[in-house]
Amino acid sequence: MVILAAIALFLAINAIRALREAGLDTMLSGTLWYPTSDPGKFGMLPLVLGSLLVTGIALLVSIPVGVGAAVYISEFSRGAVKDVLKSIIEFMAAVPSVVYGLIGVAVLIPLVKDVFSLPSGLTALTGGLILGVMSIPTIVSISEDALHAVPMDLRQGSAALGNTRWQTTFKVTVPSAGSGIFAAMMLGLGRAIGETIAVLMLTGNAAVIPDSVFESVRTMTGTIAAEMGEVVQGGLHYSVLFTVGLVLFVITFGVNLAADLVLERQRKRWRR
Amino acid sequence: MVTLAAADARAHGAPVAAEQEDLPAEGSFSLRDVSVAYGRDRVIEGVSMDIPPHAVTALIGPSGCGKSTLLRCLNRMNDELGNVRVGGHITLDGQDITGKAIDPVDLRMRVGQVFQRPNPFPMTIFDNVVYGPRTQGIRGRDELQALVEESLRSAALWEEVKKSLKKHAFELSGGQQQRLCIARALATKPEVILMDEPASALDPISTQQIEDTIASLKDDVTIVIVTHNMQQAARISDRTAFMLRESLEEPAHLIEVGETRKMFTNPDDARTESYITGRFG
Amino acid sequence: MMTPSRRRKARIAETTARMLLGSMALIVVGIALFVVGYIVYRGAGALDWQFLTDVPRNRGREGGIFPVVIGTVWVVGGTAAFALPVGILAGVYLSEYAPKGFATRAVRLAITNMAGVPSIVYGLFGLAAFVLLAGIGRSILAAALTLACMTLPVVITATEEALRQIPQDLRQASLALGATKFRMIRTVVLPAAAPGIITGSILGLARAAGETAPILFTGAVFQMRRIPDSPLSQFMALPYHIYTQVTSVPEWNPDLVWGTALVLVGGVSLVSVAAATWRAFQRRKIAW
């Protein structure tokens, strides 16, 4: 709790200069990100849109695959198969993001480049795809927990009415776990939007508002990581990067809080 | 200090009452107008009774009548649940145990408890038995060894485990585990042992062994046992108290208390008779 | 009564759904297998004794990764030194002592939320709080503190979870023998919960070992001639090494980078699997 407050506080303190000199609204609505020109232009819109685009692509991949896999693991597999599947998910969550980035560089970039015959494979699509893979474990494990929490009685009740397993799953189990699955998607989104290193390695990092998924984009996280090493500490650019961090923090905090509240309500529902 | 001296004295077989003139440390309770409430819910009211030393007193009644709750008043385990208020007065050997005058931790060294399900600690048999004594600060190897043998003998488990005291307690059978729990409670040299349906999770043979153990213990300690098994109460207890909660809106009351034989043959109260002959749950 | 045609329809739906969901699970398995296989395939070639014991040469295009491994070990050790005591104490407090009220719920919510804060934001926090404000400078200590903040929620949650598994009976038995609450926790609850706590914490630490973003500004460096000799020196780390090789070294040597990735993933998985196996083994021994 203290640490969380401290994080918010430190981000805010360091962001103050930027907020005062550049103004939050100009930063948020500005479309030009030229931090090193004189005077610097700190329009965050390209970064925010970059993050949203990449995250959107990621969710398009991870939600169907993740929720589908979770339903399969929870409702259609058992015994050793279930254990193995769960361990695999845990393994995927344990792979460091830089390694996903490396795999993206080695496999996905050439693949995207060839398949869509683009001049470069460093695109929003590339970053989004790998991010999708990275958020699968979060979505699977939280959804699976939610499905698992649905009382057995409910399934048996449905089966006793002559429903097949799929009918039971579709009509009873998944709707009952609905809010938990929704929370899983939110947490997957939080994970994707906050991911740094892999996207930094894959999206090309052009700070312009993208027209299509085949263009290079730069995310909020990537911007902080790439530029913080080169700025003057305490300078305006430094402060602006903290503002980006603050925006990121507020977004993920909101998303996670919403998901947590949904999960807590769900837990209460099944208690006894 | 009185406690330890008394426990010591008993350990050496000396007559306790003779040494303690004003406070006979032998484990007799006196309850006066005891009431218990969980938050707004009054569960027990107006219980007054005496629990004599060196005898087995059974608390009987339908489930939900507050017998376990009353039992937990005697070693202040209700304190741990939070949100529980206990009213009235309870004395142990003349000393008030309800107020702040006594530390529940001290009280519990004098009043042991055996629970519904066997709950040995995840350690060796030896470590289980010496858990209480170690809490009291006893460290001497020989002393602990002697305590372990004495306690396990009293609990009728010594012969079965004397060669395997270093075995993990979970390797014992359910009945053995429960007798281990009794030995564990005995090792602190308590004046009283409370038992909350100690045989309800056990098979008939283990139950028989536990009952035999209880019968052999009452020379040393006072036993208060909660049971919903009529036959068990009739077999092992000297005195019986019957509690009943007649509706959910009202708290439970003590209906009748007296000699077990009389209770089971010629109860004073019609409700006692109905219960004993099987008319309530 | 179901008509035969409806029954057939139901059966077809059943099969289709099973296949569709199964294929989703299969995709996940495929990805995971590909990730493992590819890392091993590309990295195994570089893996030899010299690689593990030599220093990086020619900006990392040749030589080994010895100081990189050592740096990671130092940082993770430091992280453990901060995160474990604080996390376990906090977990015990929350689970055993904290009143069940609004405040505790809020703290718990904050902790789960801490787990969702992006790692780069922890990096910013570490830079502002430890490196600059506390004046520690970019160092192992600053990086370890930053990673510890990130690992804390994992340790706290693991502790709480493990303590929740301990039956209420056991606590009461200890109290009924005249133990104080503190003694009960120390002698009965914590030993019984230890496997869960330790394993959960190790999994959290393994993840910390693989993080790049938080150490980016708090002490990791691209190249160092010597092994770090104090908590205040800067360090090289496996994930950061991979990152800088790929992004800042022209014509980086794929063999060595993949070798580094293999060492990182292998190390993290080995430790995690070992911890999980040990816990499963302990659980079987102590079944409630």
Strands B56-60 and B222-226, sheet pairing = parallel
**Touching C: A residues 195-214, CB under 8 Å:** 195-197, 200-201
pLDDT computed for residue B275 by the predictor? 86
The residues spanned by each domain of chain B are 53-81+99-276
DSSP state of B48: E
Interior CA angle at A151 toward A149 and A154, to 5°? 135
* pLDDT in the model for residue B6: 42
Distance CA C243, CA C68 (A): 12
Determine what percent of chain B falls in helix, strand and coil, rounding each to the nearest 5.
40, 25, 35
Q: Which of A136, A150, A137, A138 is nearest to A179 (CA)?
A: A150
pLDDT digits (tens, 9 = 90+) for A174-189: 888 888 899 999 999 9
**Which of A75, A88, A94 has the CB atom closest to C29's CB atom?**
A88
As a whole number, mean pLDDT of residues C226-241 equals 84
Residue with tokens 């038992």: B195
Domains of chain A: 46-236 (1.10.3720.10)
DSSP chain C: ---HHHHHHHHHHHHHHHHHHHHHHHHHHHHHHHHHHHHHHHHGGG-SHHHHHSPEEGGGTEE--HHHHHHHHHHHHHHHHHHHHHHHHHHHIIIIIS-SSHHHHHHHHHHHHHTTS-HHHHHHHHIIIIIIIS---SSHHHHHHHHHHHHHHHHHHHHHHHHHTS-HHHHHHHHHTT--HHHHIIIIIHHHHHHHHHHHHHHHHHHHHT--HHHHTTTB-S--SS---STTS-B--HHHHHHHHHHHSTT--HHHHHHHHHHHHHHHHHHHHHHHHHHHHHHHHS--
Percentage with pLDDT > 90 across chain C: 33
CB pairs under 8 A between B and C: 71
pLDDT at C262: 94
Residue C215 has pLDDT above 70, yes or no: yes
Nearest to C259 by CA among C54, C83, C78: C54
Q: Exposed, middle or buried by CB within 10 Å (0-12, 13-18, 19+), for C265?
A: buried
Q: Using a CB-CB distance cutoff of 8 angstroms, which residues of chain A are in contact with residue C132?
A: 233
State both tokens at A242: 């903290």
Distance of alpha carbon B24 from alpha carbon B11, whole angstroms? 16
The alpha carbon of residue C234 is apart from the nearest alpha carbon of chain A, in Å, by 15
pLDDT bin (cut points 50, 70, 90) of residue A135 is very high
- Taking Cα atoms as reference points, which of C64, C229, C246, C55 lies closest to residue C139? C229
Q: Measured in whole angstroms, how far is the alpha carbon of residue C248 from the centre of its chain?
A: 27
Cα distance between the two ends of chain B: 45
**Interface chains of chain A (3 or more CB pairs under 8 Å):** C
Whether residue C183 and residue B75 make contact (CB cut-off 8 A), yes or no, is: no
Class of domain C50-282: mainly alpha
Q: Given an 8 Å threshold on Cβ–Cβ distance, is A94 in contact with C207?
A: yes
CA dihedral over A267, C199, A62, C114, signed as positive or negative: positive
Q: How many percent of chain C have pLDDT more than 70?
A: 97
A55, A251 in Cβ contact below 8 A?
Answer: no
Cβ contact C265–A65 (<8 Å): no
- What is the Cα A49 distance to its own chain's centre? 14
* Dist. CA A254–CA A257, nearest whole Å: 5
Q: Which amino acid is at B142?
A: D
Range C178-188 average pLDDT: 90
Interface mutation target, options C177, C182, C186, C284, chain B, most CBs of B under 10 Å: C177
Interface test with C, best of B123, B129, B131, B224 (most C CBs within 10 A): B131
CB atoms within 10 A of CB C33: 11
**Which residue from C258, C210, C129 is spatially nearest to A102, judged by alpha carbons?**
C258
Q: Which of A225-229, C58-62, C72-76 has the highest mean predicted lDDT (pLDDT)?
A: C72-76
Decide if C101 touches B, using CB distance below 8 A.
no
Contacts (Cβ under 8 Å, ≥6 apart) of C242: A98, A99, A101, A102, C212, C257, C260, C261, C264
Distance CA C20, CA A72 (A): 9
Those residues whose C-beta lies under 8 Å from the C-beta of residue C215, and which sit 6 or more positions away, are C75, C123, C143, C146, C147, C237, C239, C240
Amino acid of residue B89: H
Q: Would you call A270 an interface residue with chain C, using a CB distance cutoff of 8 Å?
A: no
**Chains A and C: how many Cβ contacts under 8 Å?**
228
Instruction: List, in order, residues 6 or more apart from A181 with CB less than 8 Å away.
Output: A67, A70, A142, A143, A146, A147, A174
Shortest alpha-carbon distance between residue C78 and chain A (Å): 18
Distance between CA atoms of residues A135 and A194, nearest Å: 11
- In terms of Cα–Cα distance, which of A59, A211, A229, A35 is closest to A129? A59
- pLDDT tens by residue, C112-155: 888 888 999 999 888 888 888 888 888 899 999 999 999 999 99
pLDDT of residue A233: 74
- CA-nearest residue to C254 within chain A is A106
Residue C50, classified by CB atoms within 10 Å of its CB into exposed (0-12), middle (13-18) or buried (19+), is exposed
Contact C246 A201 (CB under 8 A): yes
Query: Pick the residue with more confidence: A258 or A18?
Result: A258
Q: What is the pTM of this model?
A: 0.82
Adjacent-strand bridge partners of B49: B31
Task: Locate B267 and state its tokens.
Answer: 């109860």
For residue B112, give the nearest of C167, C176, C179 by CB distance.
Answer: C176
d(CA A14, CA A1) in angstroms, rounded, equals 20
Report the SS3 class of residue B163.
Answer: coil
- Asked whether C134 and A262 are in contact (CB, 8 A), the reply is no
Number of CB atoms found within 10 A of residue C34's CB: 14
Residue B252: strand pairing partners: B44
Distance from CA of C187 to the nearest CA of B (A): 9
Sign of CA dihedral C142, C145, C147, C150: negative
Return all residues near C250 (Cβ < 8 A) that are at least 6 apart: none
Res B20: pLDDT: 40
Rounded CA gap, A34 and A233, in Å?
A: 18
Cβ-contact C86, C246 below 8 angstroms = no
The confidence score (pLDDT) of residue B194 equals 93
Superfamily of domain B53-81+99-276: P-loop containing nucleotide triphosphate hydrolases (3.40.50.300)
* B36 DSSP β-pair partners: B44, B86
**Is the dihedral angle over the CA atoms C242, C247, C248, C250 positive or is it negative?**
positive
* Residues A65-87 pLDDT 10s: 999 999 999 988 888 888 889 88
Check CB contact under 8 Å for C110 and A164: no
- In this predicted complex, what is the ipTM? 0.86
Instruction: Assess whether chains A and C touch, using the rule of 3 or more C-beta pairs within 8 angstroms.
Output: yes
Chain B contacts to C (CB-CB under 8 A)? 75, 77, 80, 105-109, 112-113, 115, 117, 119-123, 131-132, 135-136, 168, 170, 181, 184-185, 188, 194
Chain A residues with CB-CB distance to C257 below 8 A: 102
Q: Using an 8 Å Cβ cutoff, are C119 and C196 in contact?
A: no
> Do the chains contact at C123 and A224, CB–CB below 8 Å?
yes
Answer whether C269 touches A (CB < 8 Å). yes
Q: Which two tokens stand for residue C65?
A: 């990764």
Check residues C228 and C77 and name the one with the higher pLDDT: C77
Instruction: Share the mean pLDDT of chain C.
Output: 87
Count of alpha carbons within 13 angstroms of residue B68, beta-carbon side: 12
- Does residue C218 belong to the interface with chain A, where contact is any CB pair within 8 Å? no
Residue in C129, C206, C217 closest to A229 by CB? C217
- The amino acid that residue C73 corresponds to is V
User: Which pLDDT belongs to residue B276?
Assistant: 83
Nearest CA in chain C to A139: C28
CA angle in degrees (0–180, nearest 5) for B122-B123-B125: 120
In this prediction, residue C115 carries a pLDDT of: 83
| Tally of CA atoms within 13 A in the half-sphere of C113 that contains its CB | 28
Please give the structure tokens belonging to residue B264. Answer: 């089971």
Instruction: Please name the residues between 12 and 41 in chain C that touch chain A, using a CB distance below 8 Å.
Output: 13-14, 17-18, 20-25, 27-29, 31-32, 35-36, 38-39
pLDDT of residue B240: 92
pLDDT tens-digit map of A12-64: 777 776 676 666 777 677 777 777 666 667 778 888 888 999 999 999 999 99
> At residue C263, does pLDDT exceed 80?
yes
- What's the whole-number mean pLDDT along residues C216-226? 80
**30-59 in A: which are within 8 Å (CB) of C?**
none
Parts of chain B with a pLDDT under 70: 1-25, 279-281
Interface contact C113-A133, CB threshold 8 A = no
Whether pLDDT at C256 is above 80: yes
B45-to-A147, B31, B35, B267 alpha-carbon distances in Å: 45, 12, 4, 22
Query: CB–CB of B135 and C178 under 8 A?
Result: yes
Mutate to test the interface with C, among B121, B168, B189, B191 (most CBs of C within 10 A): B121
Chain B residue nearest residue C285, CA to CA = B170
* Residue numbers of A between 228 and 267 with CB closer than 8 Å to C: 228-229, 233, 241-242, 245, 248-249, 252-253, 255-257, 259-261, 264
B28's CB contacts (< 8 A; 6+ apart) are B50, B51, B52, B53, B92, B93, B222
pLDDT, position A98: 93
Give the Cα separation of A52 and A34 in Å (integer): 20
From the list C24, C110, C265, the residue facing A64 with the nearest CB is C24
Q: What is the structure's pLDDT at C288?
A: 52
Interface test with A, best of C14, C23, C27, C28 (most A CBs within 10 A): C28
Contact C243, A101 (CB under 8 A): yes
> What are the φ/ψ torsions at residue C153 (nearest 5 degrees)?
-60, -35
CB-based contact C32 A91, cutoff 8 Å: yes
Q: Which of C171, C172, C179 minimises the CB distance to B135?
A: C179
Query: Which residues of chain C does B115 touch, with a Cβ-Cβ cutoff of 8 Å?
Result: 169, 172-173, 176
Q: Residue C123: closest CA among chain A residues belongs to which residue?
A: A225
Instruction: Provide, as residue numbers in chain C, all residues whose Cβ is less than 8 Å from the Cβ of A99.
Output: 35, 39, 210, 239, 242, 261, 264-265
Ordered strands of the B29-38 beta sheet: B41-51, B29-38, B84-92, B95-96
How far is residue B6's CA from residue B20's CA, in Å, rounded to a whole number? 8
